[in-house]
Amino acid sequence: MNLTRSTPRWIALAALMACASTSQAALFEDGDARRAIIELRQRVDQLTQGNNQNGEDTSQVRRSLLDFQSQIESMRGEMNKLRGENETLRREVADLKRGQTDLAKGVEARLQQFEPVSVTVDGQEFKADPAEKRDFEAALGVFRTGKFADAAGVFSSFIQRYPKSGYVPSARFWLGNAYYATRDYKPAIDNFKLILAQAPEHMRAPDSALSIANCQIELKDTKAARKTLEDLIAAYPQSDAAAAAKERLSKLK
C-alpha cells in the first residue's frame, strides 16, 4: 500500500468522525467516542510518522547511491590512470628491450672488428686480425697498380707492424718483387733469402729462389746466380721455378 497517498484519506476520515461525534453525541457515550477519536488520531500519527520515516529512508538510500556512484567514478578514473601508466611502462620496457638488442648487436659488430678471422693466402691457412687482413690487402692493391716504390714502403711497414703474422712470407715476397721492379736488387735479395730461411716450405719459396738468381744476374754476379739456380733445382725439383731455372742455366755463360 502507498502510505503517502493513503494519509490524506485517514485525516479526512478523522475530521468527519470528529464532526459526527459532536452531532451524534446522543447516539454514543462520551467515553466511547473519545476513545475512538483518540485511537483514530494515534493511527493517523503512526501512518504519518511511518510515511516520514520512509521518506527519510528513501533520501538516505539516494544519498548512499550517489556516494556509491561517486566512488565508482573515482575508481574508474584511477583504473584509467593505472591503464595509462601501465601502457607507458609497456612502451618503456619495449624501448629498453630494443635498446638492449641494438646495444648487443653493436657490441658484437665491434668485437667482430677485432676477433681473428681465418684466411688462406698462397696456400697457407692461418688466423689474422681484421685490421691485419685489411692492411695486407691494401698493400697488395698498391703493388697491383704498378706503384712499386709505394708498394715497397707499404709492405715494409706491414712487416714491421705484424712481425709474427702469417702474412709475412707473402708480404716479403711482394716486397722483394717491388724492390726488383725498382731495380733495388740488394734489398730484394735480402727479402727473398729471408723467405727461404724462415719458410722454406712456403708456396712462394721456389719463386723466391728464382728471383734471387734473377737479381744476381742483373748485378752481373753470374757465379752466384748459377749456384742459386742449381740449389733451386735440387731443393724444388718438381716446381715450375725449377723448370725455369734449368732454362736459365743453359743460357748462362
Q: What is the pLDDT of residue 51?
A: 65
Query: Strands, E, within 29-132: which ranges?
Result: 117-121, 124-128
What's the whole-number average pLDDT of the chain? 84
Q: Please choose, from the candidates 124, 209, 203, the residue with its C-alpha nearest in 3D space to the C-alpha of residue 167.
A: 124
Q: Considering the entire predicted model, what is its pTM?
A: 0.58
Phi, psi of 238 (to 5 degrees): -95, 0
* CA distance linking residue 150 with residue 64, whole number of Å: 96
Q: Hey, what's the torsion of the CAs at 236, 238, 244, 245, to 10 degrees?
A: 40
For residue 173, give the C-alpha cell.
715476397
pLDDT level of residue 104 (50, 70, 90 thresholds): low
Q: What is the pLDDT of residue 26?
A: 47
* CA distance linking residue 183 with residue 214, whole number of Å: 11
- Indicate if the pLDDT at residue 41 is higher than 80: no
Say which range, 16-20, 98-102, 125-129, 160-164, has the weakest mean pLDDT: 16-20
pLDDT one-digit tens code per residue, 16-38: 445 444 545 444 456 777 777 78
Reported as half-sphere exposure (CB side, CA atoms, 13 A), residue 126 has a value of: 15
pLDDT one-digit tens code per residue, 167-207: 999 999 999 999 999 999 999 999 999 999 999 999 999 99
pLDDT one-digit tens code per residue, 203-243: 999 999 999 999 999 999 999 999 999 999 999 999 999 99
